[in-house]
């Protein structure tokens, strides 16, 4: 059609579309991140002064056993929370994908509903449930008080941290899983069932392999924010439950050691880039097969 703009060839039109978001990205994301990255190669020369000296001492300090241990514990926490989210979220996503259209909408709203509430409020709600005088212990005391029930210590434990991490990040697992499962070719599932395979075998041999990219995306989208979580360990955990993000927060606030905090933060960034690159390789391998 004459007069219609070819966006692929019109450089001015493309620049007009990309200009404002690109400017926003550079000014409010790329530049601050570059400044923090530069801080990771600096040293403190005063209370509020940092000299960018090009030193790698901060990264060498990250490799000390103390911080490597905290990082390893954070990776273990993130891996366990992601695994629990995957085990719980996969049946939920599968049920939503096979639900009637009207019910499917309400189920998706139910999954996304926690996002409509502030994270801090949701974490304090968990405290109301898990503390010694909380709703769980009160209910168990009413039910088993005759047997001498004593309140269970759930707060300030690794268990409470794991509950908080799974509760907060479960939607990050369910939504990409649903997106992958909803696009499956249902005729393949029907053929598997018609040929005598049971439901569990069909899920294991047909559904999971076909949804492999969605599962990888769900794992990545869950693992990365869990690894960077600091609110749940800070409010729900004890001294032995602190994760690497809590150490980073202390370096920037209480210790006023911005160079070392920046080095710790970018170690997480490097791990994130590694995870994204690994996912891209898996996608590329799947496309070539």
The whole-angstrom separation of Cα 231 and Cα 237 is 10
pLDDT at 11: 67
pLDDT at 159: 92
pLDDT digits (tens, 9 = 90+) for 99-156: 888 899 999 999 998 888 888 899 999 999 988 888 888 888 888 777 777 888 888 8
Q: Which domains does the chain have, with CATH numbers?
A: 12-55 (no CATH), 67-288 (1.10.3720.10)
Contact 161, 230 (CB under 8 A): no
The whole-angstrom separation of Cα 254 and Cα 36 is 17
User: Is 177's pLDDT higher than 70?
Assistant: yes
- Within a 10 A sphere around the Cβ of 128, how many other Cβ atoms? 11
User: Is 18's pLDDT higher than 90?
Assistant: no
Which of the four pLDDT bands, split at 50, 70 and 90, describes residue 1?
very low
Q: What is the DSSP letter of 28?
A: I
Share of the chain above pLDDT 70, in %: 93
Which of the four pLDDT bands, split at 50, 70 and 90, describes residue 6?
low
pLDDT digits (tens, 9 = 90+) for 35-79: 999 999 988 887 777 888 888 999 999 889 999 999 999 999 999
How many residues are present in the chain? 289
| Averaged pLDDT, 221-227 | 91
Token pair 């212990």 is found at 137
**Residue 113, Ramachandran bin (φ over 0: left; ψ between -120 and 50: alpha; else beta):** alpha
Contact 282, 216 (CB under 8 A): yes
Strands (E), the chain: 42-44, 50-52
pLDDT at 2: 46
Tell me the chain's radius of gyration from C-alpha atoms: 24
Q: Which of 141-150, 178-187, 220-229 has maximum average pLDDT?
A: 220-229
Q: What is the pTM of this model?
A: 0.83
């Amino acid at each position: 059609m004459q007069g219609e703009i070819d966006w692929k060839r019109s450089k001015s039109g493309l620049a007009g579309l990309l200009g404002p978001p690109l400017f926003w990205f550079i000014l409010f994301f790329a530049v601050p991140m570059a400044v923090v990255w530069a801080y990771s190669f600096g040293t403190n020369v005063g209370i509020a002064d940092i000299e960018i000296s090009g030193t790698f001492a901060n990264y060498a300090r990250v490799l000390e056993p103390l911080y490597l241990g905290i990082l390893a514990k954070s990776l273990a926490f993130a891996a366990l929370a992601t695994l629990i989210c995957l085990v719980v979220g996969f049946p939920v996503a599968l049920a939503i994908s096979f639900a009637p259209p009207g019910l499917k909408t309400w189920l998706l709203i139910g999954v996304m509903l926690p996002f409509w509430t502030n994270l801090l409020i949701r974490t304090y709600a968990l405290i109301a449930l898990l503390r010694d005088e909380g709703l769980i212990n009160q209910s168990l005391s009413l039910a088993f008080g005759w047997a001498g029930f004593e309140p269970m210590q759930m707060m300030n434990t690794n268990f409470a941290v794991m509950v908080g991490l799974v509760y907060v990040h479960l939607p990050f697992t369910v939504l990409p899983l649903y997106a992958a499962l909803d696009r499956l070719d249902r005729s393949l599932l029907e053929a598997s069932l018609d040929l005598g395979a049971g439901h569990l075998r069909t899920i294991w041999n047909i559904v999971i392999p076909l949804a492999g990219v969605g599962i990888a995306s769900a794992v990545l989208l869950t693992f990365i924010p869990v690894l960077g979580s600091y609110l749940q360990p800070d409010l729900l955990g004890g001294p032995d439950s602190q994760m690497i993000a809590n150490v980073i927060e202390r370096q920037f606030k209480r210790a006023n050691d911005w160079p070392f905090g920046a080095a710790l933060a970018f170690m997480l960034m490097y791990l994130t880039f590694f995870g994204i690159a690994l996912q891209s390789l898996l996608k590329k391998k799947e496309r070539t097969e």
